[in-house]
Amino acid sequence: MPTLNYPSTLRKHNARFCDEPMNTRSTSTDDSESTPPDPYEVARSGTAFWADAAADAIEARNPEEPVVLKGGVSPSGIPHIGHFNEILRCYFVAEVLRERGHEVRQVFTSDDRDRLRKLPRQLADENWEIVGLGDVDAGALGRNLGRPYTDVPDPFGEADSYGEHFTNLLRRSVERLDIPVEFVSNTELYESGAFDDAIRTVLSNRGTARDLLAGYQDGVDEGYVPFFPVCESCGTLTGTATGVDLDAWTVSYVCEDIETGDDVIEGCGHEGTTSLRNGKLPWRFEWPAQWDVLDVDFEPFGKDHAEGSWPSGTDIARQLFDNDPPVGMVYEWFTLEGAALSSSAGTVVTIDEVLDLLEPEVLLYFFSKRPLKQRDFSIENLDQLVDEFDRFERVALGDSDPGGSDRKQRAQQVYPMLADSEEHLRIPYTFAAVLGMTDDPDLREEIARREGHIPEDASEQAVAGALDRVEQARTWASRTGNAFDYELKRSQMPEVSFDPDTEQALDELAAFVAEGHDGDAIQNRIFELAEEYDLEVGGFFGAGYRLFFDDTEGPKLGLFLAKLDRQFVVDRLRRQR
RNA sequence: GGGCUUGGAGCCUAUGAGGUACAGGCGUGGGACUUUUAAUCCCGAGACAGAGGGUUCGAAUCCCUCCAAGCCCUCCA
């Protein structure tokens, strides 16, 4: 027995969901021992961290070491943050299990033998540049509809296939997040024969397989053969196998039209026979086959699978493969700015993009939250997420605990999974955005110090780390064009027109600046001049912001002007350049 | 049609195995820092937990009905 250190309340909780009958229309008469916990319950964790509950459920199965956690997606297009549920939900559970002394293997299957069903409207090249379908040879790509992703050429001509191209992109994002993941190609599993036993099991028990599936799906009739061969003539993953010869390890087929949603992929009509390694199992069988072949103990999945392929999959795992299905966990989908994430519709945020806007630990933090909650990823309001993380970090590190001890305990548990143990100095995100108005690193630091965001005794390294956020926040501000998007208009003077009083006041201010005064003095002078010329204070400041930022707002003007080179300021105040 | 998930102040995030929501943040109103903005500090307003029933001494937390959004019963994190 490993020493487990978690609250006793949790144990009670586990007992609860382990004993509950599965919430499906399973037709099986299995004993409770092989009934996996309800994947919704696994995602709910009461007062504990959800990954703890998942780890509990996994331990309840007495898994063999190493414990295998798996995720997977089809490489159908641009990998976006939603796909990372498959990676990061596993990651947190893996971390918990490691803490408990388990050996863990985190696996990701690229379901790359799935067929290309339709062309996405957008693609991303090997440099993560998003390009429209029109920018590649869409015609050539279109001729590959119906083929497995690994048989479709990479439209960018770099990788071996379309599937490999997008898998590579995803893998690189995983690497940027520094998550240890083993990638497995589904196509390779088929080609290497790793799936042979599973295929044999399905096809030699066709009647059982059919009956099982028919309990969950309509349209599974007598002639149904649960295998899709690749047509040797046109390369399409066909839908109609007509017979199998297990001794010869072949399957015969007719290459008929395939309906995929609204579209129909035309078959070439070829009738042929091919190897059982040249094709694939239908998803409903393939998933449990993966569990069996890879010895999967845990798998998170999107809510789209929760009511369909999960119940049938667990049933098939037990009854057909005689295998205990893994612990499943449902997660809700993210939205982007309130809209569904969709590669084809172009509502996509990639990990790469996000990491230009915030630190990896903030992104991980987003994924550490309750899985069943529908969450919006909002770039518009990204500052709120970062602020929330900063608070979370402070609580975890013990500086304060406004939310109570439970919250603190959780923070202390989760935080080490997000960030390294080095000292992190954080400048508030929106303030960092404002600092982006100047390119001068020294000036940035000075302003940050002046405003109290950098303590006297901060190490050089910590300061540098803190200022790294400025670039991210500035990118965010300029990308969203929000209120923090200040940019010093140094090279060219914005178009301005002021009334005569304002112009005179600006000239006097220029003269004052020319004399050489510190920031406070200049700030005071601005107020005095506004009074002397009977100008609205706000309006006069506004004139300054217009001149220097082409905006109505800006930083504390006097202090800021004092930091810039004097002649430039004087000239600009005189509207000369 | 059947099933599932989510639903807290203007917004975000918690809590959620029944026991008073003075919760935190953002935003907002006011004030302080010699006087607009950013930042910092103080104070204030703001929800009775989607709606309605029920169980209970007591429910945001259990049950029922309904509503909204999303998902599944073809493929899709």
pLDDT in tens, A219-273: 777 778 899 999 999 999 988 889 899 999 999 999 988 877 677 888 888 999 9
Mean pLDDT calculated for residue range A191-207: 94
Q: Is the CB of A390 under 7 A from strand B?
A: no
Of residues A35 and A59, more confidence is placed in A59
Of A195, A340, A390, which Cα lies nearest the Cα of A275?
A195
Q: For residue A437, what pLDDT is reported?
A: 79
Instruction: Give this complex's ipTM.
Output: 0.86
A445-450 contacts at long range (C-beta below 8 A, 24 or more positions apart): A446/A563, A447/A555, A447/A559, A447/A560, A447/A563, A450/A559
Q: Is the CB of A219 under 7 A from strand B?
A: yes
Q: Is the CB of A428 under 7 A from strand B?
A: yes
Q: Is the CB of A284 under 7 A from strand B?
A: yes
Q: For residue A186, what pLDDT is reported?
A: 96
Say how far A36 CA is from B52 C1', in Å.
36
Tell me the β-bridge partners of A532. none
Residue A293 clears pLDDT 60, i.e. is over it: yes
Nearest protein residue to nucleotide B74, judged by CA and C1' positions: A261
Tell me which of A45-59, A79-93, A295-309, A324-338 is least confident: A45-59
Q: What is the DSSP string of A173-220?
A: HHHHTT---EEEEHHHHHHHTTTHHHHHHHHHTHHHHHHHHHTT-S--
Q: Is the CB of A192 under 7 A from strand B?
A: no
Say how far A388 CA is from B13 C1', in Å.
8
Of residues A527 and A91, more confidence is placed in A91
Mean pLDDT calculated for residue range A505-534: 84
Give residue A153's identity as a one-letter amino acid code.
P
Q: Is the CB of A109 under 7 A from strand B?
A: no
Q: The domain A8-134+149-194+284-335 belongs to what CATH superfamily?
A: HUPs (3.40.50.620)
Residue A17 clears pLDDT 60, i.e. is over it: no
Nearest protein residue to nucleotide B37, judged by CA and C1' positions: A553
Q: Smallest CA–C1' separation from A338: which nucleotide?
A: B69
Per the CB < 8 A criterion, the answer to whether A300 and A307 are in contact is: no
Per the CB < 8 A criterion, the answer to whether A284 and A216 are in contact is: yes
A298-302 and A327-331 strand pairing:
parallel
Per the CB < 8 A criterion, the answer to whether A244 and A250 are in contact is: yes
Mean pLDDT calculated for residue range A275-294: 94
Residue A378 clears pLDDT 80, i.e. is over it: yes
Helix (H) or strand (E) holding A566: helix A566-573
Percent of chain A topping pLDDT 70: 92
Q: Is the CB of A216 under 7 A from strand B?
A: yes
Helix (H) or strand (E) holding A464: helix A460-480
Mean of the per-residue pLDDT values for chain A?
84
Q: What are phi and psi of A377, to 5 degrees?
A: -95, 115
Nearest protein residue to nucleotide B5, judged by CA and C1' positions: A372
Q: What is the DSSP string of A77-140?
A: S---GGGGHHHHHHHHHHHHHHHTT--EEEEEEE-TTSB--S--SEEE-TT--EEEGGGS-HHH
Residue A67 clears pLDDT 80, i.e. is over it: yes
Residue A326 clears pLDDT 90, i.e. is over it: yes
Q: Pull the structure tokens for residue A482.
A: 């929000």
Q: Is the CB of A67 under 7 A from strand B?
A: no
Say how far A384 CA is from B12 C1', in Å.
7
Delimiting residues of CATH 1.10.10.350 domain(s) in chain A: 500-573
Indicate the CATH number for domain A500-573. Answer: 1.10.10.350
Which bases of strand B sit closer than 7 A to a protein CB? Answer: 2-7, 11-17, 23-27, 34-40, 69-77
Residue A85 clears pLDDT 80, i.e. is over it: yes
Say how far A524 CA is from B34 C1', in Å.
9
Mean pLDDT calculated for residue range A354-373: 90
Residue A421 clears pLDDT 50, i.e. is over it: yes
Q: For residue A149, what pLDDT is reported?
A: 95
Within A 530-569, residues with CB less than 7 Å from strand B: 537-538, 541-542, 553-557
Going from the C-alpha of A215 to that of each of A24, A211, A221, A362, A494, the distances in angstroms are 11, 6, 11, 44, 70
Nearest protein residue to nucleotide B72, judged by CA and C1' positions: A307
Mean pLDDT calculated for residue range A508-530: 83
Say how far A392 CA is from B20 C1', in Å.
28
Delimiting residues of CATH 3.40.50.620 domain(s) in chain A: 8-134+149-194+284-335
Per the CB < 8 A criterion, the answer to whether A420 and A414 are in contact is: no
Q: What is the DSSP string of A510-564?
A: HHHHHH---HHHHHHHHHHHHHHTT--HHHHHHHHHHHHHSSS--S-HHHHHHHS
Q: What is the pLDDT of residues A142-192, one digit of tens each?
A: 899 999 999 999 999 999 999 999 999 999 999 999 999 999 999 999 999
Instruction: Identify the band that residue A46 occupies on the pLDDT scale cut at 50, 70 and 90.
Output: low
Q: Smallest CA–C1' separation from A447: which nucleotide?
A: B39
Coil, strand or helix at A506 = helix
Say how far A255 CA is from B28 C1', in Å.
65
